[in-house]
Chain A
């Protein structure tokens, strides 16, 4: 496995108490494959990725567990080691390309400086590389646009430039944190296509953070559903989207508009609000919002915290027997089609 995250825990010490942003999270990403991480805001998706990049402030964040990239442990790596890896082996693209690109530097300069920093090449070589990258991500007239500033680019172009910047050193791992959220729908599809195409060419492993299940369906090979800083379901894209097992995943899928649904039928959002990460609910963190607790009884759901099971393949963190989950899902599906 290219990236292995084991039992990752990230706590933040704040004035209000300790925020348990991520607790005991494990996942893996292979070269050439895309892992979609799905969850509501505050489910720990971004915190996890910033931990992989080593971008948390060590004074406020307490991180434990293990993150290895190509066999190299990242959590204990020195600052200079991480600086050498960031932008070079691990790259990240962010949600809002306008605020994520420096308004003071030309797009070309921002791309070239990454290449210069990590490859130690001359200015002119780096500039040529920046033009080549802009061309690769589909920016027309790259020789002219290389000297323009981000505010002269359109939203989609900015995200393309961001991708060019992230991929300039051919990183083994690309983390895309909601890369299409700030873009309109047609541009979204273009950007996702671009990512897929570049992945085929380079074999980069991608972590795609999103709360948009449509994005997951079109892009991810594997899916990890997160809730309150924990993995609640994991499997291939087909498994998780077609045969979801965890009540939270059902909730997420139910809150998605579908073509089969009548136009006037209201969306069903997941009941309740995301839990406080300072006082994470005992037992299954989802139990206060779960519609199926009475099937198991409060004692079970608030007892020991469920782990992902089975350990490999399609697994979820819920005590409901698999048979019962399948029945519930099929009954719901039947209701929807009739």
Chain B
């Protein structure tokens, strides 16, 4: 198990390195001059030259990449801008701050948004999936499948905007979405995120309902489920201890992907609800050609997905002993 984990983590590190390199060369190849942006409106050539030196972009690309990479582990000094402590993901000339600081500033918003919604859609999706599978062909099952079809078809900018209009501006059922740190005001934190959570969950639940239902239907016909019944296990224990166990694997798989994607930046959700998370940061970075920030958000998104993959793979082994031993 330990060897398996070590192998997976090393593999993940290699993938991240490759992604960083590709992204780096891709971004720095585009004809935007960060120094010009950094230097301001009136920019005499010598100031521009100075800015280039300060940012380190007068160096060859490969050298730049190596100093970017080593900055993550040992920090970097920018001439005229100051020290960027490790982990240094670069210095944003737009925000006039180390990128890592900005990311850490925005991260709680995205994580709170993602995890809150994830808890709702995971529990609710799996529960409705189980109920639908047990009521196969009954009205409840049909309602669930129509609802999940609708849920899977609508887009967040539609439902989100509609929900904002109906529940915030028209009826004030929910308060205006905003992010308040949980350490400052837990209730405010909850209220501010409730509507985004629900809207995000509404859209994601559908997928979990469908997958849980279909695997559950399959599993309920498994021989070992019949054996459990034949030995007198109660209906509930047959469903929860035996049939559900086999359903967890596909659910965990998509959950890992969804969670990774959302942590990497729920761009549309954050934009719809005006939350200042990683997604918004990425969009802004594109608008301002803020390459260091953009680079960091891309690597972060990739890192989130790679990390979730390792977590999911480890969870397979927890769920299914056959994976553990082979």
Contact = CB atoms under 8 A, between A and B. Distances in A.
Interface of A: 53, 55, 79, 83-88, 91-92, 94, 96, 99-104, 113-114, 117-118, 149, 151-152, 165-166
A113 B231 CA distance: 9
Contact of A100 (B224, B246, B322): B224
Nearest to A85: B232
B219 to A, nearest CB: 11
A55 B226 contact: yes
A149 B321 contact: yes
A86 B232 contact: yes
Nearest to A115: B231
Contacts of B235: 79
B229 A86 contact: yes
6 contacts: A86-B229, A86-B232, A87-B230, A92-B230, A117-B231, A166-B231
A327 B39 CA distance: 113
Of all A-B residue pairs in the complex, the 3 with the closest CB atoms, nearest first, are A87-B231, A87-B232, A86-B232
A118 B234 CA distance: 11
B322 A151 contact: yes
Counting chain A CB atoms within 10 Å of each CB, the highest count among B224, B231, B246, B322 belongs to B231
Contacts of A99: 222-224
B27 interface: no
B232 A101 contact: no
B284 interface: no
A101 B242 CA distance: 10
Given A113-B233, A114-B231, 10 more contacts: A79-B235, A87-B233, A94-B223, A94-B226, A96-B223, A99-B223, A99-B224, A102-B227, A103-B246, A104-B242
Given A149-B321, A151-B322, A152-B325, A100 B227 contact: yes
B230 A103 contact: no
B322 A103 contact: yes
B228 interface: yes
Nearest to B248: A104
Given A87-B232, A91-B230, A102 B224 contact: yes
A104 B226 contact: no
A100 B223 CA distance: 5
A65 to B, nearest CB: 21
B123 to A, nearest CB: 21
A101 B226 CA distance: 10
Contacts of B325: 149, 151-152
B33 interface: no
Contact of B232 (A96, A104, A118, A151): A118
A79 B242 CA distance: 19
A104 B245 contact: yes
Interface string B56-71: 0000000000000000
A101 B245 CA distance: 13
A103 B321 contact: yes
Nearest to A53: B230
B318 to A, nearest CB: 11
Counting chain B CB atoms within 10 Å of each CB, the highest count among A100, A114, A151, A152 belongs to A100
Interface in B212-252: 222-224, 226-235, 242, 245-246
Nearest to B243: A102
Contacts of B224: 99-103
Contacts, number: 70
Contacts of B234: 83
B319 interface: yes
A154 B316 CA distance: 24
A261 B325 CA distance: 48
Contacts of A152: 325
A152 to B, nearest CB: 7
Contacts of A104: 242, 245-246, 319-321
B232 A83 contact: yes
A12 to B, nearest CB: 15
Contacts of B233: 83, 87, 113, 117
A96 B224 CA distance: 10
Nearest to B224: A102
A222 to B, nearest CB: 23
Given A86-B231, A86-B232, A103 B223 contact: no
Contacts of A165: 231
Nearest to B326: A151
Nearest to B231: A87
A113 B233 CA distance: 9
Contacts of B319: 104
A6 to B, nearest CB: 23
Contacts of B242: 102, 104
Contacts of A79: 235
Contact of A103 (B226, B231, B320): B320
A79 B231 CA distance: 13
A92 B319 CA distance: 27
B229 A55 contact: yes
Contacts of A91: 230-231
Given A99-B223, A100-B223, A149 B230 contact: no
Contacts of B229: 55, 86
Interface in B146-172: none
Counting chain A CB atoms within 10 Å of each CB, the highest count among B224, B234, B320 belongs to B224
Contacts of A96: 223
Contacts of B227: 92, 94, 100-102
Contacts of A100: 223-224, 226-227
A79 B229 CA distance: 11
